[in-house]
Copies of this chain bind each other. A is one copy, B any other.
Amino acid sequence: MKSQIKTTFSNFFFEYETPRQVLVKNKRVAVVCRIIQMGVLAYIIGWVFMYEKGYQVVDTAIGSIFTKMKGVSFTNISKKERIWDVADYVFPEQGDSSFVVMTNYIVTVGQKQGKCAELPDGKNKCNSDADCDEGKYKRMGNGHMTGRCMNETSTCEIYSWCPVEDDRKIPDPPVLLTAENYTLFIKNSITFRQFNVVRSNLVESVNQSYINTCLYHPKTDPLCPIFRLGDIVERSGLNFSEIARVGGAIGVLIDWDCNLDLSIRHCKPKYEFYGLYGTGKNGDKEEKPSLGYNFRYAKYYVEDAVEKRTLMKVFGVRIDIIVHGRAGKFDIIPTLTAIGSGVGIFGVATVVCDMLLLYLVPKRDFYKNMKFKHTQILEEKPDLPQSKTERDLPKE
């Protein structure tokens, strides 16, 4: 018993099995087969390994963004000169990855709580008091109806912040058209956790003196982290004067595609710009509702013991900065998985060739007998030596 285990064990270690094969000398099948095999090999080496870098394990980046706008605008509205700086036109102020640069606005000064007529903008018409349900609120309205229909405006009286904002006419040209010349500075830090790599968009070639003077340009200054607002809008395929008037949203994509098998210095960001929902490229208004971008905010104050507010309807360029990072590095697992998968596909090549050989070639029966050995005759006849010869060497 013991010696039997020993034999089995030594057999296992001192002999190995390898498949017996037929070398088929059929030019047509062989050439087809070799071409398929070389195609598979070329695909595995060329495409999977070299082009798609199948030998690399991939990690996606975790990114952080800090932004800073620079620039001032000067306006002269009804002889009132005014300068606008960063603290005036950026929302929110703390340098988020998503922010709005005000380019146009409608201001309603000195609103206070009270009763006044709804805005006669066509959506809130009334003919009699019956059209104005007391205490109700209309979806397009600005306040709670008191139940009266005002004769002067043909709209319901409402309890609201009065006077009601009149946003029927958007200033054209936009008040802060010079916003085009503002500059945006982006700091972006990314982390590839799996590879323990931290990287900033201020790469080696971007030093302080370069930052002081550069301006992003896709050809000449592709790594400069300072962007002109007008350039961002134009490169996203939108028109600045139109977007400045009604507002719009722009995506700035910082794209990192790093091969960490090379030096980290080659790991550089690429900036891309595209319009998000604004006035579209094709200008097809039926397909793209809700153009523009705006929001309201209020500054509150107390005057003569009455709480008042200045309401601003702000139109502007909303910038959403998005980081998309991907790094690859050689790793044994994806390499072996790709090889294993490739060997599997090699098997497919053999299966295809065998089908050709066994079903399409004229001498297919001969090849079938070369390839296959049958067992059933043996089970019936006990005179093995002879039957064996018969099976293995068919008389065709």
Contacts and interface: CB of A to CB of B under 8 A. Distances in A.
A335 to B, nearest CB: 10
A94 B93 contact: no
A278 to B, nearest CB: 10
A339 B343 contact: no
A113 B23 contact: no
A71 interface: yes
A215 B351 CA distance: 58
A3 B176 CA distance: 84
B30 A208 contact: no
Given A72-B160, A320-B64, A370-B373, A17 B22 contact: yes
A113 B253 CA distance: 37
A304 interface: no
How many of chain A's residues touch chain B, expressed as a range?
A: 35 or more
27 contacts: A14-B31, A17-B23, A19-B20, A20-B372, A22-B373, A25-B379, A62-B253, A64-B322, A66-B318, A74-B143, A81-B159, A83-B161, A88-B298, A92-B94, A95-B293, A191-B253, A191-B274, A193-B253, A207-B286, A208-B290, A301-B301, A301-B302, A340-B345, A340-B347, A343-B348, A367-B375, A384-B393
Interface of A: 12-27, 29-31, 33-34, 43, 47-48, 52, 62, 64, 66, 68, 70-72, 74, 81-83, 85-88, 91-100, 113, 135, 137, 139, 141-144, 159-161, 181, 183, 185, 187, 189, 191, 193, 198, 200, 202, 204, 206-208, 211, 249, 251, 253, 255, 274, 276-277, 286-290, 293, 295-302, 309, 311, 314, 318, 320, 322, 324, 333, 336-348, 350-351, 353-354, 357, 363, 366-367, 370-376, 378-379, 384-385, 388-389, 392-393, 395
